[in-house]
Structure 1
Amino acid sequence: MDDQTTSSGLVTADGQPLKRSLQRAERTRKLTALALVGPLLAFLLVIFIFPIGQMMWRSVDNPQIVNAIPRTLEALQEWDGEGLPDEPVYAALAEDMRADAELPRREQWMGRMGVRLNYELSGARGAIARTSRAVDEFEPPFKEAFLDAHRNWGNPELWQILEREGRPLTASYYVAALDREYDSEGKIVLRDENRRIYVSLFGRTLALSGIILFLTFALGFPIAFYMSTLPMRYANLLMICVLLPFWTSLLVRTTSWIVLLQQQGVINNAAVAMNFISDDQRYSLMYNMQGTIIAMTHILLPFMVLPLYSVMKNIPPSYMRAAKSLGAKPWTAFRRVYFPLTLPGIGAGGVLVFIISIGYYITPALVGGQSGRMISNEIARHMQQSLNWGLAAALGSMLLVGVLILYWAYNRLVGADSLKLG
């Protein structure tokens, strides 16, 4: 019998069964691969996946009212939703407010509840704050004491909001993000026309992103085509010009466009000096949609040029010569042979430009004005000024889902495997 075999099968040189040795080697290989990609997975989890999960959770998380007035919410279960609640509900609210003042860990919950209610009903925060300071002096009947403390305690709408939002999870932020609200019967209805802003902002964001995508393609395709036909020495020089914006701060580039586009800026002064327009007919290119389109097209143009160039550089010139030798005219050869071969680069550049432009913030904030604002600016406003983080998270989640839907549609129609970034 060969020394490399046993009665149970093949063995290795050191006498170990070959099957077990192969399994051990495969396990070692997998553990090594996991160790190599582990830091990247941890980075994505901490920097990307976890914050997105937190954002989506924040859009439905609703702990403020539940933690502030648990006894009141329990008493409200007996309320029929008509008129004002009975005395036991007001007594439970007084007990909750007094307990809130006594327990150190809950001392901020009443203030948080006031802020949360103010999103739904103007003046609710003032009612909470004023009543919390005077609740220790309340005596039965508590209903009359609360009605004397602030007029909102006599507003049935406030109690309907407390009953509706007194749950750990809420859909109110998404309702508001769709320009809708709850009526007195608890039904979801459209807001007043002068308060509908988010749906139109989403539409404007998609429209601006589509326009910027088209302009970057119209400008980037000839540049990439010209670069691909130049000798390498001149192509590299032109590539440096394309990449030059990446070596300049985004804020500096945006500020430069402010200098160029303002009514007393370089473009208008040049047009007046060459008698294209009179001094009182200067173009209005700043703080509007035109300014946003111009600045963002310039900033995002390299993201279209680079994928196109990487594809065009690898298209053999002999294809066009072969088409012409077979009788095709230059335009026909370009349309039937060359252009289809550039589709992977067009798809990659289009996806990059469109997704980046949808979430752009700095440039629309600086040069966009009111008509050039995008949904990202409204999300930032809620994060920094109104502090309505739940609504900001709902808007951000809707934007994320919208991008994923668009990418899914692109994958179904074109195929993500056709993308070519380099």
Structure 2
Amino acid sequence: MPRSFSKQYLKHSKNPSIHQQIEIDMSETPSGAVIYQLTDQSIKQKLKKAERRHKTRAFLLVAPLILFVLFTFIFPLGSMLLRSISSPTMTEYMPDVAKIMQRWDYQAIPDDEIFKTVAQSMVTARENKTIGRVANRLNSENSGMRSLMTGTARKLAKYKGDDYKAFMIDLDPDWGQMETWGAFKVISNPYTLTHYLAALDLEYGGDGSIVAKPEKYQIYVDNLLKTLKLSLIVTFLCILLGYPLSYYLSILPPGKSNLLMIMVLLPFWTSLLVRTSAWMVMLQSKGVVNSLLIYLGIIDEPLALIYNQVGTVIAMTHILLPFMILPTYSVMKNISPVYMREACSLGATPAQAFRRVYFPQSLPGLSAGAVLVFILSIGYYITPALVGGSTGQMISYLIAYHMQQSLNWGLGAALAGTLLFVVLVLFGVYNRIVGSSELKLG
């Protein structure tokens, strides 16, 4: 039968005048083993206190990194996503209009009260010199609203009557159109999905429904699809070129492999702008590539290798190739060559051994490199902007355009948010098929 008993010991601290009595419970199992358990509460408290100190010290060590990530990534990303749905222009500069437009239901032209409120708010905004901001926001929803707002505001400043509805419609028939008031309705809410609809080539119709934009304005979805296509092509080419090179580096002696690895890393010592400019020189009609092909008799006329999608793919593949080689090589370096020899000794051909033994072990590095290249390429800006021309531009160019030139930050943020959503969806699909646990960098 198991039995329990206890003993007491005296623990001498560093201070000779202090002695601490420790009670230890000992229980004997049927097999004869003895289990010891400390029962002194002060020892447990000291252990918990020491553990708390250890966790606090560890947290303080990583706190600077956490703050850096918060202020340089999390907060800017959250601000971007908030700006993509934020529409405070009307509520800030014409609050009365924003409030009264909430009761308009798209069924008919607004009544006299709404016309009067809009007219008076326009006059006030003109006096406060804020009507331009409202007009610009309306113009992004319905082309021509800026001139309609500013021209009508000038006339209303001199109007002394009470029939604002008739006066405004006589002044410009656009005031009698549902599309005009639909724009007012859309921006009257402090938060709206209008920017995301525009990023998908959609818009609100005059009756409040979601409709497709005219064909000549449908540019964002095609550009997004082109971005995904070019990114997949670049990723595939990096796999095609990087996997064999990584394998060759992994089987070479350390001295030779280190020398070749330095050559792989050499482009990182050169500025991205310099590398892109070098490709601009090489891919021109009279550049190095075309001149060499003509000299060898392969072609008779120069090929169009720049300011198109071909130039974008070539330059991006060269720039992103090291990001494929590094994780793939680091995983291959840890694969023992014994596995291939054993597979061949058991009757497998070299091709079968590679396909069934070596390749599955290298797949984590290959997956990590492919994901890294794809994510980098989908948001590339400098190289497509310089080499791609009008047909080789990616969606990053449109995001930069709205952020820097058109100053439509809401639409730029919506395009960036849409791109982020697409990347997360693709990564989710990858996670379901391959699994994020298969990602390894070495």
TM-score, reference length from structure 1: 0.91
Q: Residue 88 of structure 1: which of 92, 96, 113 is its match?
A: 113
The structure-2 alpha-carbon separation of the partners of 1:81 and 1:338, relative to structure 1 and needing over 3 Å to count, comes to: closer
**SS, match of residue 342 in structure 1:** helix
In terms of mean alpha carbon deviation, does 84-93 or 283-292 score higher?
84-93
The offset of 1:140, in angstroms, is: 1.8
The structure-2 alpha-carbon separation of the partners of 1:421 and 1:6, relative to structure 1 and needing over 3 Å to count, comes to: closer
CA contact (8 A) 1:348 1:419 kept: yes
**Is 1:238 the equivalent of 2:238?**
no
Please give the residue correspondences for 1:369-388 in structure 2 after superposition, counting only pairs within 5 Å.
369-388=389-408
The 2-side partners of 1:341 and 1:73 are apart by 61
**SS, match of residue 386 in structure 1:** coil
Match of 2:133 in 1: 112
The offset of 1:362, in angstroms, is: 0.8
Letter of the structure 1 residue corresponding to residue 181 of structure 2? W
Match of 2:84 in 1: 59
**SS, match of residue 181 in structure 1:** strand
Match of 2:438 in 1: 418
**SS, match of residue 5 in structure 1:** strand
| Residue deviations 1:29-58 (CA, integer Å, cap 9, x gap) | 221111111111100000000011011001
In terms of mean alpha carbon deviation, does 215-224 or 182-191 score higher?
182-191
**SS, match of residue 377 in structure 2:** helix
In terms of mean alpha carbon deviation, does 406-415 or 213-222 score higher?
406-415
The structure-2 alpha-carbon separation of the partners of 1:410 and 1:272, relative to structure 1 and needing over 3 Å to count, comes to: same
Letter of the structure 1 residue corresponding to residue 331 of structure 2? V
The 1-side partners of 2:109 and 2:292 are apart by 69
Report how many residues are paired.
Answer: 412
CA contact (8 A) 1:82 1:156 kept: no
Please give the residue correspondences for 1:303-318 in structure 2 after superposition, counting only pairs within 5 Å.
303-318=323-338
Match of 2:280 in 1: 258
Match of 1:45 in 2: 70
Match of 1:206 in 2: 228
Structure with larger RCO (C-alpha < 8 A, sep 6+): 1
The offset of 1:148, in angstroms, is: 5.8
The offset of 1:247, in angstroms, is: 0.6
Letter of the structure 1 residue corresponding to residue 330 of structure 2? S
Identity %: 50
The offset of 1:90, in angstroms, is: 2.7
Uncovered stretches (5+) of structure 2, i.e. residues with no partner: 1-7, 11-18, 25-37
Match of 1:287 in 2: 307
Match of 1:179 in 2: 201
Match of 1:28 in 2: 53
The offset of 1:83, in angstroms, is: 4.8
In terms of mean alpha carbon deviation, does 312-321 or 286-295 score higher?
312-321
Q: Residue 406 of structure 1: which of 426, 431, 440 is its match?
A: 426
CA contact (8 A) 1:228 1:313 kept: yes
In terms of mean alpha carbon deviation, does 157-166 or 138-147 score higher?
138-147
CA contact (8 A) 2:85 2:193 kept: yes
Q: Residue 296 of structure 1: which of 285, 300, 316 is its match?
A: 316
Match of 2:293 in 1: 271
**SS, match of residue 405 in structure 2:** helix
Match of 2:31 in 1: none
In terms of mean alpha carbon deviation, does 162-171 or 348-357 score higher?
162-171
In terms of mean alpha carbon deviation, does 201-210 or 80-89 score higher?
80-89
The structure-2 alpha-carbon separation of the partners of 1:7 and 1:149, relative to structure 1 and needing over 3 Å to count, comes to: farther
TM-score, reference length from structure 2: 0.87
**Is 1:159 the equivalent of 2:181?**
yes
Query: Over aligned residue pairs, what C-alpha RMSD do you find?
Result: 2.2
In terms of mean alpha carbon deviation, does 370-379 or 308-317 score higher?
370-379
Q: Choose between structure 1 and 2: higher helix proportion.
A: 1
CA contact (8 A) 2:186 2:194 kept: no
Q: Choose between structure 1 and 2: higher strand proportion.
A: 2
The 2-side partners of 1:328 and 1:296 are apart by 39
The 2-side partners of 1:37 and 1:77 are apart by 49
